[in-house]
Structure 1
Amino acid sequence: MSLKEYFENALSVEDYKAQMKVNKEEMQQIYEQFDAPEDDRLNDLKDRHLRVLAISEDWCGDAMMNNAILLRIAEQANMEVRFALRDSNLDLIDQYLTNGTSRSIPIYVFIDENFDEVAVWGPRAEEVQAFITDSRKDLPAKDDPTFEEKSKAKHKLAHDAFLSTPAFWKGVYTSILNKVTK
């Protein structure tokens, strides 16, 4: 399928939110609490008439935070956002693998009026990745009997940090703008 077909078949923001079973309230909370800073690059984005195909799932903590920030940017720049669910669009996510191997989400594909790809962002801003890497450095090996329990605790730590760290939100905002306004 082409990017145009993926975009046209993807969920509207309202439909994506309506189907959410996990992290819906949390995503909305971040969206409401995030005060997007003024940035002149938003005016340039308005003039480019971009769309965003967001590859996402509601169970993903990164998506919970990043989608809220993306929606603020899209609102300011008049960009239409549509959501393609990763797990039912493996052929799409496989075109945007992280490090060539991982189906990490969210991935944002920015497309122009002709449905040509102009930028891809995701799954994390640099400072968020640094936090995750640092928080997981003391995990035992995957074959350790305590790995699963300790890994779940790290996921909760990340989830809570994503909900309560405005510096992460600003980092995501800046990272997305840097990528799409190059």
Structure 2
Amino acid sequence: MGAIKVHEFTTLDGSVGVPMWTADFPWTDQQTEDTAALTRDAHAILLGRTTYEMFAPGWSQRTADDDPGAPFFNDTRKYVVSSTLTEPSWGPATVLPYDAARIARLKDEVDGDVYVSGSGTLVRALLADGLVDELHLFVYPVGLGEGPYLVPPGTPKIALGLLSATPYENGVVHLTYGPAGS
């Protein structure tokens, strides 16, 4: 049985929109290794439709020579949560509607972890339904003053427990949370 591990780039004020602002903070070797570790034990990728459609053009054109992460993103089975997408166009992919019980079963069906990246709407639903085993926030030292936010105003309380905190030389901090009490 695997775990659902969410990976998000966020700002100090919680914005998780398209992370163009990360370019101002060149990655450190440790940050690269920590991010690679999230995918190392994952045998499935769970994405919302918007993130899937944003990732497809970029990743589908990359090879291992371009980026060591390309084989993972291109070859790993993707589960795309959508009520509108009918024909996935990138890699091995299955479209499914959001159903908490069905997504919970993925942990039993996949021989390894389930990796989630971006996919703010999906991640908010997973958090609300208690389906996130690890929430990896890479917090960048910048505030945007605008969203979209991982936890927007009006969201019911979500309690998590801190599992680890790793600061990097570029000012980014990797915070890992799990279910409260873990």
Short-chain TM bin: under 0.3
Query: Per chain length, whose mean CA-contact separation is higher, i.e. which structure has more relative contact order (CA < 8 Å, sep 6+)?
Result: 2
TM-score (norm 2): 0.28
